[in-house]
Structure 1
Amino acid sequence: MNSSDGKKRMNVEGEDRLSSLPDDLIYKILSFIGIEYVVQTSVLSSRWRFIWTSMPYLDFSMERIYHPHKFSKFIIHFFSSRNNQTEVSSIKLSFHEVDNQDIDVFVQQIMEYAFSHNIQQLNVACLFHEFGVEFPHFLSSSRSLKHLSVTKEHVSATPYLKTYVVKAPSTWEFPALTTLYLHDITLCCDENTDKCIDLFSKCANLKNLTIKSCYMGVKVLSI
């Protein structure tokens, strides 16, 4: 091997190939880690400084929130600094709530932002010790949401936890929804609904429906 070959190999080995990738591919790679770590990549170089502000895939999965106030400040900073021209393709929410109703507020804020930025896929997995969290009604009018999954996280050491509460009107709209997965949640009526609900009659594009191990707090659920 001559000296020019060695020099060429050294240049290739020293090249930052990750930073040279197109933004869309970097977004896909970063979608596999929590959003708090994505934000931290801004210190790597000038190339990475603002990558996180246009991430279309947001993962807010956390096993446990020890400092709700700190997390609240992070949510405010994240959404106020994000590029509002960028739509949200998907959001993952996974919270381990420990005797703190503020989690309900965080979930509401994140879902409202997702709704206003044309979210297409939403996965919610929550674990609660004391409180159920009401699923926001406004999402059912989303004209962009195609895939929705709502489940309860399971921990073998704490099998008797309350489930995620979905208070339903008489029908859901979900005009674009094609896939709905409900697992181990409580489905009940709101105060304006009788005991017979026909949730899916207006979900014109629904193709895949899974209702697994759910508690039905209604007399009749019509499908």
Structure 2
Amino acid sequence: MIYATEKPQEVIISQCVRERNCEDRISALPDDLLVKILLFVPTKDIVTTMILSKRWRTIWTEVPRLEYEDIVSNTNSEQKSVWWFLEKSLQLHKAPILESLCIQLKEICPTNVDVAKLVGQAVDRSLRRLLFHLSWLAKPTSMPNILYTCETLTELELFNKIILDIPPSVCLPSLAKLYLFCVLYKDDVSLVRLLSNCPVLRILLVIRSEEDGNVKKYTVKVPSLEEFTYLYKRPLSLAENTRSLVLDCPVLTKLSINDHSGDSCSIGNMPSIVRAELSTFCYPDKKFVMCRPDNFSQLVDLTITPCDSGWLEQLMLMLKSNNELKSLTIKSSYIITPVLWNKPGHVPKCLASHLEFFKWRSYNDIKEEREFVAYILANSKCLKKAEFVMPNSKNIYDENNICEELKSMFKISPSCQITFTFIHI
């Protein structure tokens, strides 16, 4: 007999299933597993988990990666900086090792806060990676001295309104990656002092701004450095004869320089460069490439951006001692400028035995360019592909003529494929 107050068996089973589905199984997981789950959640959401229950109150404080960013909106005049949230949450944070701390403070950040003190607190947590982007409206500020003696730091990224004022006690024994974006340098000594006390530094990326005028001789002398990228935004109109870039990194394998400042450049013994991207053929003394051509003897991949009329001659000097080059890319301007070209009497070994890919972006089809292309096609025995990217012509007949002319050039490599791409500019 079933009384009115009793439930049929299927109803009871359904209710049990619903209760089981609503069961909080996540909270029953071990702390270390919960921390790993929270690594996939934005920091602001990580902190809010503390209100879920007593179980969650302190879990977020053990998360070893934290990211804070000011969000600037043009439509919101009452924006608040992430600073206040950042300062309080970092005070409560308890993780013994802080693997990564990313902070981006923009114009809405208060100008009276102590950012150096906050960085010092992070260093005390055995900090391993720091990204600090400071774009506030106040004057540039220095980082605390303790940052430059952090034994656990492996990666450091400093952006914008930060002064690189390096103390004599600097020692970063674990730093492998260093990124300096538009920072201000106190003087030449600070830069040299920093780099000379990073014994395992492998990657260095530098972007210099117009305001960076304190360093006259930008010296990069790092025995362990493997990759170096350098971009200088200083206009050529502000060029000074006393300014220079000095490189001395004997195990460097990747080099990228984009510098139209007019500063001179000196390259020491760096025979291991395999990949290079250069946009520097505008130095007044014209000695950038000629200083040590053997630095490029092991090049496999080369990309160049011409900046003056003598770039072809300088390129041939680079290739003269090279035996390994497989890929050559030219990124010229669509603005047609005079080019000097004299066919060399000697064919570089890399053309005769290794070059497989040749690409010319912004090919303008002027006489000297055609002669150089003909030289490459006639002497590159292993060439597999020659690609040309050109601006659209108003006359389709002209485009067809250019293509036919390039196709008709003599190719010593019977398997070489020539392709064309026309783009709007």
TM-score (norm 2): 0.41
CA distance in 2, matches of 1:194, 1:182: 16
Query: Given that residues 148 and 179 in structure 1 are in contact (C-alpha distance below 8 angstroms), is that contact kept between their aligned partners in structure 2?
Result: yes
TM-score (norm 1): 0.72
Q: Which residue of 2 aligns with 1:217?
A: 214
Q: Which residue of 1 aligns with 2:32?
A: 24
Does residue 117 in structure 1 map to residue 120 in structure 2? no
Query: Given that residues 91 and 123 in structure 1 are in contact (C-alpha distance below 8 angstroms), is that contact kept between their aligned partners in structure 2?
Result: yes
Cα deviation, 1:147-167, whole Å, max 9, x if unaligned, reads 111124xxxxxxxxxx43322
Report the alpha carbon displacement of residue 100 of structure 1 after superposing the two structures with TM. 3.6
Report the alpha carbon displacement of residue 144 of structure 1 after superposing the two structures with TM. 0.4
User: Structure 2 regions of 5+ residues with no counterpart?
Assistant: 1-8, 73-77, 221-425
CA distance in 1, matches of 2:218, 2:193: 6
Give the 3-state SS of the residue equivalent to 1:125 in structure 2: strand
Q: Which residue of 2 aligns with 1:102?
A: 112
Q: Determine which of 169, 178, 202 is the counterpart of 1:180.
A: 178
CA distance in 2, matches of 1:194, 1:146: 23
Letter of the 1:102 partner, please give it.
N
Q: Which residue of 1 aligns with 2:101?
A: 91
Q: Which residue of 1 aligns with 2:192?
A: 197
Letter of the 2:152 partner, please give it.
S
Give the 3-state SS of the residue equivalent to 2:35 in structure 1: helix
Letter of the 1:101 partner, please give it.
T
Report the alpha carbon displacement of residue 51 of structure 1 after superposing the two structures with TM. 0.8
User: Which gives a bigger RCO, structure 1 or 2 (Cα 8 Å, sep 6+)?
Assistant: 1
Query: Given that residues 131 and 156 in structure 2 are in contact (C-alpha distance below 8 angstroms), is that contact kept between their aligned partners in structure 1?
Result: yes
Give the 3-state SS of the residue equivalent to 2:194 in structure 1: coil
CA distance in 2, matches of 1:46, 1:27: 16
Residues 99, 92 of structure 1: CA spacing in aligned structure 2 closer, same or farther, 3 A cutoff? closer
Structure having the higher Rg: 2
Letter of the 2:216 partner, please give it.
K
CA distance in 1, matches of 2:120, 2:197: 22
Q: Flag as ranges the 4+ runs of structure 1 deviating above 6 A.
A: none
Cα deviation, 1:107-152, whole Å, max 9, x if unaligned, reads 2222111111211111112222342222223211110001111124
Query: Given that residues 99 and 131 in structure 1 are in contact (C-alpha distance below 8 angstroms), is that contact kept between their aligned partners in structure 2?
Result: no
Give the 3-state SS of the residue equivalent to 2:101 in structure 1: strand
Q: Which residue of 2 aligns with 1:142?
A: 150
Q: Which residue of 2 aligns with 1:156?
A: none
Report the alpha carbon displacement of residue 203 of structure 1 after superposing the two structures with TM. 0.7
Residues 205, 197 of structure 1: CA spacing in aligned structure 2 closer, same or farther, 3 A cutoff? closer
CA distance in 2, matches of 1:207, 1:5: 63
Give the 3-state SS of the residue equivalent to 1:150 in structure 2: strand
Count of residue pairs brought into register by the alignment? 204
Could you say what the CA RMSD is over the residues aligned between the two structures, in angstroms? 3.4
1:150-161 to 2 correspondences below 5 Å: 150-152=158-160
Q: Which residue of 1 aligns with 2:349?
A: none
Residues 164, 203 of structure 1: CA spacing in aligned structure 2 closer, same or farther, 3 A cutoff? same
Report the alpha carbon displacement of residue 6 of structure 1 after superposing the two structures with TM. 5.3
Report the alpha carbon displacement of residue 10 of structure 1 after superposing the two structures with TM. 3.5
Letter of the 2:144 partner, please give it.
P
CA distance in 1, matches of 2:86, 2:141: 18
CA distance in 1, matches of 2:54, 2:148: 40
Q: What's the % identity of the aligned pairs?
A: 24
User: Structure 1 regions of 5+ residues with no counterpart?
Assistant: 153-162
Give the 3-state SS of the residue equivalent to 1:182 in structure 2: strand
Residues 76, 183 of structure 1: CA spacing in aligned structure 2 closer, same or farther, 3 A cutoff? closer
Report the alpha carbon displacement of residue 50 of structure 1 after superposing the two structures with TM. 1.1
Query: Given that residues 166 and 193 in structure 2 are in contact (C-alpha distance below 8 angstroms), is that contact kept between their aligned partners in structure 1?
Result: no
Letter of the 2:197 partner, please give it.
K
